[in-house]
Every structure is written in structure tokens, then in C-alpha cells.
Amino acid sequence: EIIMDESAVLGPVDPQLGDKPAVSILKVLKQKKYDDIDDETLILADVSEKAMKQIRSFVENLLRKKMDEKKSKTIAKTLTEGRWTHDYPISVDEAKKLGLNVSLNLPEEVYKMMDLYPQPSQQKSAVQYIPIPYRRPGNSHSSNRIK
């Protein structure tokens, strides 16, 4: 059972190698000819393949303690295959749809304990900006309009 607050989220557990998703590194092997791939990428792909197998096996074994093998394999695959970006928020409802046993019965003591350890304010902005100058069509105030 996973006990969550109604506004809590889980995330995928797909392996990352530095700042790159392992699944994306492996995708290079399918998109390029072997002779066109540099040695570093080949090494990263080898490590990525191992990492993917390891994390999937770990998640399957963890889930298998509380559910049947078929269900644990299906959920483990979903959480580790790179279906989403690594920071994708999995809500309570979505976690339940995936087949996870989620409860909203978070004990009041947990909230009291969390109050003892307030989180620092976020240092990095959650807002992402368009990486080029953006002008609305018809805006005559700029000659850099996107056409």
C-alpha cells in the first residue's frame, strides 16, 4: 500500500545517466548506423541497457511482494520504460489506474512531523520560457515577429 496525500505525486523510475534518460541513449542505437555512433555513446548505451534491466527487476521484485507476477511486471515496465519524461507527475488517480494500491489515509502524525521540517522555498523557477523571442502575430512593436 502506498499512502499519499491527495495532492501528492509519484514519478517514473526510469534510469538517468547524468542528465540523459537511459531509454533515449538506447534510442540512438535504433536510429543511427552502428559505424556512425561514437565510442562514448556506445559505452553509454551499454550502461543504459544494464541500468534499464536492473531498475525494472528491482521494481518488479518490490511490487511482487504485494501483487501477482504479471501485474508487477506490467507496472514495473510502465514506470521504467521511459514512457514519460523523468519528472512526469503521477497523481493519485493515475497511480490507481496503473494498478498501484494507493490510500489517502495519511496519518495526522505525518502532517505534524512535516510541520517540524519546513521545506525551503524553491530556488529554481518552475516556469519555463519559450527559447526564442516570442511575438504575437500582428504585434507591430517588433520587427522580430515569428512568421
Residue pair 13/80 in contact by the 8 Å Cβ criterion: yes
**pLDDT at position 127:** 57
**pLDDT at position 146:** 44
**pLDDT at position 118:** 85
**pLDDT at position 126:** 59
Residue at 90 is within a domain: yes
Dig out the grid coordinates for 39 from the structure: 565510442
Residue at 137 is within a domain: no
**pLDDT at position 132:** 57
User: How many DSSP H helices and E strands does the chain contain?
Assistant: 5, 4
**Domain extent for 84:** 2-116
**pLDDT at position 43:** 95
Dig out the grid coordinates for 66 from the structure: 504485494
Q: Is 21 helix (H, G, I), strand (E, B) or coil?
A: strand
- How many residues are recorded in the chain? 147
Which residues touch 67 (CB under 8 Å, ≥6 apart)? 75, 99, 101
Residue at 87 is within a domain: yes
Q: Is 99 helix (H, G, I), strand (E, B) or coil?
A: coil
Residue at 53 is within a domain: yes
Residue at 59 is within a domain: yes
Question: What total of structural domains would you count in the chain?
Answer: 1
Tell me which residue of 108, 79, 124, 91 sits closest to 8, measured CA to CA: 91
Q: What string of pLDDT tens digits covers the 147 residues of the chain?
A: 999 999 999 999 999 998 899 999 999 999 999 999 999 999 999 999 999 999 999 999 999 999 999 999 999 999 999 999 999 999 999 999 999 999 999 999 999 999 999 887 767 665 555 555 555 555 555 444 343
pTM exceeds 0.95 for this model: no
Residue at 36 is within a domain: yes
